[in-house]
C-alpha cells in the first residue's frame, strides 16, 4: 500500500499542483488536510515557515505531513518579497500585487530585473523524521501582466529556461507543471520516497 501524505495548506492551487505531480508516481499520494489550520508564519526563512506549518498540522492530525513555503525573490527589491511574498502589498488581489511590483520596478533596467521563485518543502513524518526539499526557477520580472493561468506573481515572471522566451509562467501551464519551483521540490521529495 502506498503512503498517503497530507498537505498542510488550504490553497486549492497548491493542492492541484501537488496532486498532478503525485498522480504520475506510485510512491505516494497526497490529500488535503481534513481542516485548515491558522499557522503564524513568523519564521525568518522558508525552512522555518515550512517547519512551523508541518509541525502544527502533524500535531493536530498525527499523520505524515508535507508543508511548503515559497516566495519570489527580486534582486532589485531585496527584502521586500521573499518569505513575505504572500503579504506583499497587504490584503489585495494577486493582480494588484503584480501591478504594485511592476510599479516598483518601473525604473529598473532590463539587466537588473533578475528574480527567482523558490519553494522549500518540509516532509514531517514524525518528530524524529523531518526532511527538507528545495526547488528554484530563475527568471526575470516582465514589464506587464501576461497570461490567464497560474496564480500569484505568475503573470509577471518570465522563466529563463522556458522554451517560449518572453512568455510568463501564467502562459506556460504545461511547462510550469513540470519545471516550477514547487514541481522541482516535489520531485526531490518523490525521489527521496
- Whether the Cβ atoms of residue 83 and residue 47 lie closer than 8 Å to each other: no
Q: How far apart are CA 81 and CA 79, in angstroms?
A: 6
The residues assigned a catalytic role are 69
Which single residue is written with the C-alpha cell 494588484? 96
Phi, psi of 120 (to 5 degrees): -120, 120
Q: How far apart are CA 145 and CA 53, in angstroms?
A: 31
Q: Which residues of 80-114 are buried (b: 16+ CB within 10 A; e: fewer)?
A: ebbbebbebbeeeebeebbbebbebbeebeeeebe
Pairing of strands 114-126, 129-141: antiparallel
Q: In this structure, is the dihedral angle defined by the CA atoms of residues 130, 72, 19 and 187, taken in order, positive or negative?
A: negative
Q: Nearest Cα to 7, choosing from 94, 121, 100, 108? A: 121
Amino acid at each position: 500500500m502506498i503512503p498517503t501524505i497530507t498537505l498542510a495548506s488550504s490553497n486549492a492551487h497548491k493542492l492541484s499542483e501537488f496532486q498532478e505531480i503525485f498522480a504520475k508516481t506510485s510512491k505516494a499520494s497526497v490529500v488535503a488536510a481534513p481542516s485548515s489550520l491558522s499557522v503564524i508564519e513568523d519564521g525568518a526563512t522558508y525552512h522555518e515557515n515550512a517547519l512551523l506549518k508541518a509541525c502544527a498540522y502533524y500535531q493536530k492530525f498525527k499523520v505524515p505531513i508535507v508543508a511548503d513555503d515559497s516566495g519570489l525573490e527580486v534582486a532589485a527589491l531585496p527584502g521586500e518579497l521573499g518569505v513575505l511574498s504572500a503579504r506583499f502589498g497587504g490584503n489585495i488581489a494577486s493582480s494588484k500585487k503584480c501591478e504594485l511590483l511592476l510599479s516598483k520596478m518601473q525604473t529598473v533596467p532590463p539587466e537588473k530585473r533578475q528574480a527567482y521563485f523558490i519553494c522549500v518543502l518540509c516532509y514531517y513524518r514524525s518528530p524524529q523524521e523531518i526532511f527538507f526539499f528545495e526547488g528554484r526557477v530563475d527568471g526575470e520580472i516582465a514589464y506587464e501582466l501576461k497570461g490567464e493561468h497560474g496564480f500569484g506573481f505568475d503573470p509577471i515572471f518570465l522563466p529563463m529556461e522556458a522554451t517560449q522566451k518572453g512568455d510568463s509562467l501564467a502562459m506556460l501551464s504545461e511547462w510550469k507543471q513540470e519545471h516550477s519551483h514547487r514541481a522541482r521540490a516535489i520531485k526531490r521529495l518523490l525521489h527521496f520516497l
